[in-house]
Amino acid sequence: MRDNPVLRVVTKIIVPVIFLFALYVQFHGDYGPGGGFQAGVIFAAGLILYGLIFGTESIRCLISTRFLRALIAAGLLLFASVGFLPLLMGWNYLDYDALGQNPLSGQHLGIFLVELGVGITVAAVMVTIFVAFAGRRDS
């Protein structure tokens, strides 16, 4: 599909918009519809579209499999360690009240970080699955 100029040009225009929209869904998820999972999927969709048009090799140039694997772990670790912070401060696991001056800001910060962890892991897993299936023929 690399040879089709329409697809190539449209992809190059649309991929940054997809990424931007993913970030919007990620960070506005506290107030509107959205959140980490949806944002992760949208972000991965941008990368997967790029890979569909320019080949899986181009995704691998962008992000190595090893880095993707590290991202999967990092997202989960972020989630779990945010849960652990209150525990170290003498509160219950995942009690974000401990993270801020008052419960409102604590809960806000907690859910923000947790959703970020979810987003990172989901995006990395989606891309990993795509690369694993689409890249089968090459290896």
Partner 1 sequence: MILSQLPALQVTLPLIAAPLCLLVRSGRAAWGIALFASAASFAVAVLLLSRVLDQGTLSYEFGGWAAPWGIEYRVDIVNVFVLFVVTAITTVVLFFANDSVRKEVDASRQSLFYTVWLLCLTGLVGLVMTGDAFNLFVFLEISSLSSYVLIAFGKDRRALTASYQYLVMGTIGATFVLIGVGLLYMMTGTLNMADLADRLPAVMATRTVRAALAFLVVGISLKLALFPLHLWLPNAYAFAPSAVTAFLAATATKVAFYVLLRFLFTVFGVTFAFEAMPLGIILAVLGAAAILSTSAVAIFQDDIKRMLAYSSVAQIGYMVLGLSMASVAGLTASILHLFNHALMKGGLFLALGCMAYRLGSVRLGALAGAGYRMPWTMGAFLVGGLSLIGIPLTAGFLSKWYLVQAALGQGWWPVLVVVIVGSLLAVVYVWRVVEMAYLRRPNDSDASAVREAPLSLLLPTWFLIGANLYFGIHTRLSVGIAGKAAAVLMGQSQ
Residues forming the site for partner 1 (CB under 8 A): 69-70, 72-74, 76-77, 80-81, 83-84, 87, 90-97
Choose between 51 and 75: whose C-beta lies nearer to partner 1.
75
Taking each helix axis from N to C end, the angle separating 103-134 and 65-88, rounded to the nearest 10 degrees, works out to 160
Q: Residues 99-129, buried b or exposed e (16+ Cβ, 10 A)?
A: beeeeeebbeebbbbbbbbbbbbbbbbbbbe
Choose between 20 and 80: whose C-beta lies nearer to partner 1.
80
Smallest separation, CB 8 to partner 1 (Å): 35
Torsion angle in degrees (nearest 10) through CA of 104, 106, 110, 111: 0
Smallest separation, CB 125 to partner 1 (Å): 11
Smallest separation, CB 80 to partner 1 (Å): 5
CA dihedral sign, ordered 119, 124, 129, 135: positive
Choose between 41 and 74: whose C-beta lies nearer to partner 1.
74
Choose between 2 and 69: whose C-beta lies nearer to partner 1.
69
Considering only CA atoms, which of 133, 127, 120 is closest in space to residue 46? Answer: 127
Smallest separation, CB 70 to partner 1 (Å): 6
